[in-house]
Amino acid sequence: MAPSAQPSSARQPLKLLMLHGYTQSGPLFHAKSRALVKHIQKAFPTHDVNAVYPTGPLRLDPADIPGHDPSSNKAEEDRIEAYGWWRRSNTADPPLYQGMEEGLAAVAKVLSEEGPFDGVIGFSQGAAMAGMVVALLEPGRKEAFAHFAADQGLGMPFPESFDPNTLQHPPVKFALCYSGFRAPGDRYRGFYERPPILTPILHVLGSLDAVVEESRSRALVDACSGDPEKDGRVVWHPGGHFLPSQRPYLDAAVRFIREELDRSTGSADKKNEEEDVNDMDVPF
């Protein structure tokens, strides 16, 4: 009799938090990232891949949407399904991210209720949020925020929704940031400095991206520990502001995820192997 298929419950979980871009939503990002997630599922047949797509808490008005042509049909405008994790206020210099605390609280709620997650994948504003989220889950980040908040009152306080006393979620193993960027100015330095972001991040950038300037993306790259470019953690595709679905860029994502999963489990596997050897009765 042929052996029965391995039930999904017996497979190792691989849980991904998917953060959409500005003016998008969870369902829309699900559609746009389908090729990426399918490629990951195919590459990890022994894992139970589960991608979770929350929607940002800020529903955007037509005036918030770049390039929106005001319509005389109010009913049509009311049906616009566009969301964000925060709104950028350009009246401040450097720009202020209004509603960021609400956006972070929404992500913290997902982490608490549906975690733990192995990795975070974000696009554009969602990629910027991914960089913040992985930093907030790292040990010692609260002290970094306290340092910059005390420095002439320039830094924002540590987000209450990520207080480790209330949010019980370990650091994630990896993040993928597509068209990501760093939040500007001294106010947000706690996310990126003392220490830099320690969680491994793969940065995927478009050489023709006209929405996020290269300098903003490079600022996020530079906020990561080590030398991401030298370590192969910066990948350029010859396109604009989107998730590339061509095979080389899907393979690069899978290769990065596999490396980080192997790295995170290697020490545990080695320890188990050593324990198994010690338990043996055979005298070597």
Q: Which of 131, 93, 128 is nearest to 213 (CA)?
A: 128
pLDDT value at position 144?
94
Buried b (16+ CB within 10 A) or exposed e, 253-276: beebbeebbeeeeeeeeeeeeeee
Tokens of 67: 């390039």
Query: Could you tell me if 24 and 59 are in contact, meaning their C-beta atoms sit under 8 angstroms apart?
Result: no
Q: What is the pLDDT of residues 151-208, one digit of tens each?
A: 767 789 999 999 999 999 999 999 999 999 999 999 999 999 999 999 999 999 999 9
CB atoms within 10 A of CB 74: 9
Instruction: Sketch out the chain's domains with CATH numbers.
Output: 9-279 (3.40.50.1820)
For residue 124, indicate whether it is catalytic: yes
Write down the catalytic residue from 124, 161, 179, 217. Answer: 124
For residue 237, indicate whether it is catalytic: no
For residue 118, indicate whether it is catalytic: no
Write down the catalytic residue from 39, 68, 169, 241. Answer: 241
**Alpha-carbon distance 169 to 162, whole Å?**
9
Q: What is the pLDDT of residues 84-135, one digit of tens each?
A: 999 999 888 888 999 999 999 999 999 999 999 999 999 999 999 999 999 9
Listed in sequence order, the residues at least 6 apart from 61 whose beta carbon sits closer than 8 Å to its beta carbon are none
Angle, alpha carbons 92-93-96 (nearest 5°):
50
pLDDT value at position 79?
61
Dihedral of alpha carbons 194, 199, 202, 203, sign: negative
pLDDT value at position 1?
42
Q: Is the peptide bond before 195 cis (omega within 30 degrees of 0)?
A: yes
Q: What is the pLDDT of residues 37-56, one digit of tens each?
A: 999 999 999 999 999 999 99
Write down the catalytic residue from 161, 203, 209, 237. Answer: 209
Q: Is the pLDDT of residue 270 over 50?
A: no
pLDDT value at position 9?
53
Q: Is the pLDDT of residue 278 over 60?
A: no
pLDDT band at 139 (very low <50, low <70, confident <90, very high): very high
Q: What is the pLDDT of residues 63-89, one digit of tens each?
A: 888 766 665 555 555 567 899 999 999
Tokens of 39: 């490629």
Q: What is the pLDDT of residues 229-263, one digit of tens each?
A: 999 999 999 999 999 999 999 999 999 999 999 99
